A and B are shown apart, each in its own frame.
Chain A
Amino acid sequence: MTVELLIQLLVSGLGMGFIFALIAIGLALIYGVMGVVNFAHGEFLMLSMYATYFAFALGGLDPLVSLPFVALAMFGFGVAVYYLLMRKVIGGATHAEIFATFGLMVFMQAAAQFLFGADYFSIDHSLLSGSWRVGGITLPMPQIAAAAGALICTAGLYALVFRTELGRALRAVSQDRVAALTMGIDADRINALSWGLASACVGVAGSLLANFYYVFPRVGAVFVLIAYVTVALGGFGSMSGALVAGVIIGVLQVISGLFVASTLKFVPVYVLYLAVVLLRPRGLLGRL
């Protein structure tokens, strides 16, 4: 066990962790505003990865170039999903959102395979491929970029939520819906906005992820369980919590993959979640 290896693991873990965080932040946002867990969140990721891939394969656009467009398109998609589906579901019976978003998940997965087939696509050489070597440490460029993207995204969201009028309305709705309504805030629009923003976040995550991960209809399923755990560990509704939790999970799974058993590398992550919420029932930074 060398120091070098430890640093290497830390670097790799951080890289993955920021990706987990970026995917989870969108979930956390929707939960914070509406108290809803989006089961199709992974499929939003899948959609943005396909968008990034096709922009590259057909339009020759580097993921870094197409990123803002993908994010924008995903914003629109999120708003559309809200108005066409979620608005009808919310306020109905308990857990109607579970089956609405589950249906959306099945539908999107099937639609992807229907349209693009089950094959794996990946972007072979983008601006962000390759890696740096510093001493004995390998710094994979795509992961570094993803980490940076996650940080920028979180910072941007934070600025939006805590520094703008719109953000104030968003927080108002998430803290007390009824009071916000009486104060003349259009909760419907705020909900739509949170779906849009969350989808844009996952759009950025998809764009960055497509630099080093392949796209296929079930790619969302690979990441989404970890995203749920990330949100829960960080504390539902807390974006900074999601960031912290994502990083912790990323590092922990790499380390336990080396020392425990590769197939069970997520078990310590799950145990950590249980331990944390049993001691702190609202996660690391969440509110009840």
Chain B
Amino acid sequence: MDHRRKRGSARRALLRGFAGGCFALLLGGAVLGTSAAHAEQVVRIGALYPLSGAVAKSGEDTLNAVKLAVDVINGKYPDSHLPFAKPGGLPGLGGARIELVAADHQASPEVGAAEAERMITQQKVAALIGTFLSSVAATVAQVAERNEVPFLIAEAEATPLTERGYKWLFRTTPTSREQARDFFLFLRDLNATREQKIKTIAVVHENTLWGQEFGTSMEGYFKEFPEFTLAANIGYQQGTTDVTSEVQRLIRLKPDVVVHASYDAEAILFAKTYRQFNFAPQGVLAIGAAFSSTAFRNALKDDANYFLVREHWALDLAGKNPLTAEVGKLYQDRYNKAMDGTPARAFLAMMTLADAINRAGSTEPAAIQKALQATDLPPSSLIMPWDGVKFDAKGQNTKARGIFVQTLQGKPVTVWPFNIAQAKLVWPKPASE
């Protein structure tokens, strides 16, 4: 064979291979897209969570709750008393089942937006749910708005998200500002019952969006609650190797109360360092479940006690609401891990979305949007200790309420609001050793 022709054929083969590859790629996507076109009995929901990177653990826990909710709705747990569990599927749509399309947004707003767009246009999802991180929620909200598909924020707390008047955006979780206020309400309530008043508060927060926003929100309330003064607002870098200097600063400042915004990793680190240096303020309070999570309790054993967490949910409220116990058990059995407030909020959001789709009786985004706007869930149908779910004009749920949970004898127990407390608050925090 003439060597030139052979080279040519090799080159052609290479080119053909490349072109073919590109084509197959596009085609593959196309085939997938069409096969994804939904049959009548399926409602597709897109879920976006951070499944890799620094907050992968939270993303994993939260997506697990969404998956659990979907399985409950689809009738996988027929003995359950949760909504939709008995009939299985959405009766409003002739028993349609929900199909979850999940993806990792890698904590990147760009990837989140791209995935949202792909899910909407190519996977034909009827609605989106997610995203744990507020930065990603911001870009996903833009995509949802532009494509006119409802997007339900289940856990992202940054206050501005629901302040720009998007029409396709809904949020069941309370904002970080509302949550910051609960700390002051709780401490004021506590002061009313005690001789020795709590005066100084130190805020310790991680330095990504969530922590910084919470720190700023806290600072903003000292005017409204003048009996308290800010001892210090200490930011630290998320993913730090040690927190000795941070704790040393706290020891020097001697605040009455420390309020934390930390993810799981640094919650453990801080608690361990507090113990090492015998730092004992009257109480350590935290937003988010990190200071009462399973990992935290396993890591600190007895020393995990007495930390207070501003929670959304607690298993011990089962006395008031049997659904709480049921969900807690389902989650524990399936994932071998206690459910905390963040997965609980994700579960609730998925249920809220299913309720709206069911009432809409359609997978049309516009119908679902209308149904969401009309949502008015009573407390009895929720797994949360909330007054209900009802969205204001901006899409923010107005009926969310906060509770404080204290870890006592290795179990998180509801201690505030005092009228629904399941155990008496232990205050001040007893010294360890």
Contacts and interface: CB of A to CB of B under 8 A. Distances in A.
Interface of A: 5, 8-9, 12-13, 16, 20, 110, 113, 117-122, 124-125, 131, 138, 140, 212-214, 216-218, 221-223, 226, 253-258, 261-263, 265-266
B236 A263 contact: yes
Given A118-B60, A124-B301, A110 B249 contact: no
Given A12-B244, A118-B60, A214 B239 contact: no
Contact of B236 (A117, A221, A222, A262): A262
B299 A265 contact: no
B56 A217 contact: yes
B245 A16 contact: no
Given A110-B52, A218-B53, A262-B236, A124 B244 contact: no
Given A212-B272, A217-B56, A218-B56, A120 B242 contact: no
A118 B59 contact: yes
Nearest to A133: B278
A62 B109 CA distance: 43
B295 interface: yes
A16 B60 contact: no
A255 B300 contact: no
Contacts of A265: 237, 240, 245
B57 A214 contact: no
Contacts of A254: 242, 244-245
Interface string B350-363: 00000000000000
B207 A258 contact: no
Nearest to B290: A120
B93 interface: no
Contacts of A261: 235
B272 to A, nearest CB: 6
Nearest to A122: B299
Interface residues of B, number: 37
Given A125-B301, A138-B278, A254-B245, A119 B265 contact: no
Contact of A121 (B248, B276, B295): B295
Chain B contact residues: over half helix, strand or loop, or mixed?
Answer: helix
Contact of A221 (B239, B264, B278, B298): B239
17 contacts: A12-B244, A16-B242, A20-B241, A110-B52, A118-B57, A118-B60, A119-B337, A121-B299, A124-B300, A138-B276, A138-B278, A214-B299, A218-B56, A226-B241, A255-B245, A257-B244, A263-B235
A8 B241 contact: no
Interface string B280-307: 0000000000000001001111000000
Given A254-B244, A257-B244, 8 more contacts: A12-B248, A13-B244, A118-B60, A120-B299, A213-B269, A226-B241, A262-B249, A263-B237
Given A110-B52, A140-B276, A257-B246, A120 B236 contact: no
A262 B235 contact: yes
B268 interface: yes
B5 interface: no
B277 A138 contact: yes
A216 B300 CA distance: 16
Contacts of A222: 239-241
Nearest to B272: A212
B57 to A, nearest CB: 4
Given A113-B56, A119-B337, A222-B239, A262 B245 contact: yes
B413 to A, nearest CB: 21
B223 interface: no
Shortest 5 CB-CB contacts between residues of A and residues of B: A257-B245, A118-B56, A122-B299, A118-B57, A12-B244
A92 to B, nearest CB: 22
A9 B248 contact: yes
Interface in B375-428: none
A166 B80 CA distance: 68
Nearest to A262: B236
B187 interface: no
Contacts of B164: none
